[in-house]
Structures are given as C-alpha cells and as structure tokens.
Amino acid sequence: MSDFQSDFSLKVQSIVAQIPEGRFMTYGQIAALAGNARAARIVGGVAHFGATELPWHRVVNKKGGLAAGFPSGGRILHRQLVEAEGVAVDSNDRVDIERLMWWPEN
DNA sequence: CGAATGACCAAGC
DNA sequence: GGCTTGGCCATTC
C-alpha cells in the first residue's frame, strides 16, 4: 500500500467506494467533494497509485468516458464492466454522464 | 528536498 | 469540430 493516507486521497477513495452501481462521477466532481475542485488530476493519481480495488470504472472524466489509462484492455474492459452494470455505452466508449452523474447525498 | 509525472480540465488555434 | 497548450496540486523518484 502506498502512502495514500492524505486527506484528499482518503476522501477520494471513500467517495469512489460509495458510488452505487450503474452510477458515475467525474474526476472534477470527486475532487470538489474531496476539498479541491482543481485537484481532478490528483483523483487520477490516487486511482493510478493506490486503492486499485475500488470501482474506478464508475469514475469517468468530463467526456463521460473512462480515463485514458485504464489497465490492460483499457476502454474494452471499461465498456464490459459498465455494461455489466446495465449501463449503455456509446460508440465513443462514453456513457450518458449527464444523466447518470451521481452525487453523495449525505 | 527538488524536479518530474499524471486515469484532468478549460481555453485557444 | 478535433488537436495543442497551460495550469493545477498531490504523489513519486
């Protein structure tokens, strides 16, 4: 486990872990909830270095598609994971983010 | 400790 | 309408 114990990373990981099935959040959104709206990149950093067990496939960028560097299989794997949750994926590997964008209500 | 990196975002061309 | 540039801020080497 990496040193991802900082407030941001902990919040980010916590938020991602709470995303319900079939819902999505953008990096910027998570970053804002974590306390830094500008730290969208850091969310990606957490995704890349730590908490690999979290449902990162439910985390998408503003485009509505999965981030650029998903593990081997990349968008292919992402698409399978998302579709497995009953979500339609666009030819561009994008989901209807504006419709499925979720927000932690608590 | 200093420099480089990155699963992003927004603006510019 | 798609590609390039700059800026952001924490983590890594």
**What is the SS3 string spanning A22-37?**
CCEEEHHHHHHHHCCC
Q: Round and report the angstrom distance from CA (A33) to C1' (C5).
A: 28
Q: Round and report the angstrom distance from CA (A38) to C1' (C7).
A: 10
Nearest nucleotide (C1') to alpha carbon of A27: B8
List all nucleotides in chain B with at least one atom under 7 A from a protein Cβ.
5-10
pLDDT band at A74 (very low <50, low <70, confident <90, very high): low
Looking at the whole model, is its pTM more than 0.85? yes
Given a contact cutoff of 8 angstroms between Cβ atoms, the answer to whether A24 and A51 are in contact is: no
Radius of gyration, alpha carbons of chain A = 13
* Cβ-based contacts (< 7 Å) between A 13-42 and strand B: 26-28, 40-42
Above 90 in pLDDT, residue A23? yes
Q: Round and report the angstrom distance from CA (A63) to C1' (B13).
A: 21
Report residue A85 as tokens: 């949750």
Q: Round and report the angstrom distance from CA (A95) to C1' (B5).
A: 28
Above 60 in pLDDT, residue A1? no
Query: pLDDT tens across A36-64, in order?
Result: 989 999 999 999 887 778 999 999 999 88
Taking the C-alpha atoms of residue A89 and residue A80, their distance in angstroms, rounded to an integer, is 9
Residue whose C-alpha is closest to residue A60's, from A90, A6, A8: A90
Return the ∠ at Cα A32 (arms to A27 and A38), rounded to 5°: 75
